[in-house]
Amino acid sequence: MSQYLSSSPSLIDLNQRSLYISALAIAFNPTFWNTVARREYHHKTLTRLFNGNSQRACYALALTIFSLGLFRDALYERALRSQPTHPFLQNPSIPYIAYALILTGNILVLSSTWALGITGTYLGDYFGILMDAPVTRFPFNVTGAPMYYGSTMSFLGTALLYARPAGVLLTGEVLLVYWLALGFEE
């Protein structure tokens, strides 16, 4: 174990601007969608922008959130590429763990989207678009927040796959901002 600790002078390169840009994007996304959703709930801002059509407004927000997520993921990947690797994370068994995390995370995210539909996934309740009943089947019988935990698992899997300690740190931020977002959403 000591060979792993002494072989890397720096676990995280704090001089890389991409690290901070990625961290900002990670914090921005849930802040943005919760702010917009709360504004929609109280003032119907997007619904009015779409001439009273809450369905279209919700789909527009869904497209925006999805696009911001893709952008955030690209910034995360860029940040990882500019960070040092660590020998401990380059262990031959780590990619198996990484792929298992990514696969499980994506299963949670995709199955929750399937169960909720687009408007259920992308804050339709703030637009007055409600589901007939709460979803209690998989993945909601495993966790109450499968999208958040699945996404976090995918971030961690990617960090491990790239063998970058900075990715593990950013994954901690992902988990923290999702926990905070859950506090606003529940």
**What element of type H or E holds 34?**
helix 17-43
Query: Crossing angle for the helix pair 165-185 and 17-43, nearest 10 degrees?
Result: 10
- Does residue 16 carry a pLDDT above 50? yes
Q: Does 4 have pLDDT greater than 60?
A: no
Q: Answer yes or no: is pLDDT of 129 > 60.
A: yes
pLDDT tens, residue by residue, 131-145? 989 899 999 999 999
Q: Which residues touch 128 (CB under 8 Å, ≥6 apart)?
A: 54
Task: Give first-to-last CA distance, the chain, whole Å.
Answer: 42
pLDDT above 60: residue 36? yes
Model pLDDT for residues 47-101, shown as the tens digit of each residue: 999 999 999 999 999 999 999 999 999 999 999 999 999 999 999 999 999 999 9
Q: What does each C-alpha distance from 29 to 18, 41, 137 come to in angstroms?
A: 17, 18, 27
Share of the chain above pLDDT 70, in %: 95
How many residues comprise the chain? Answer: 186
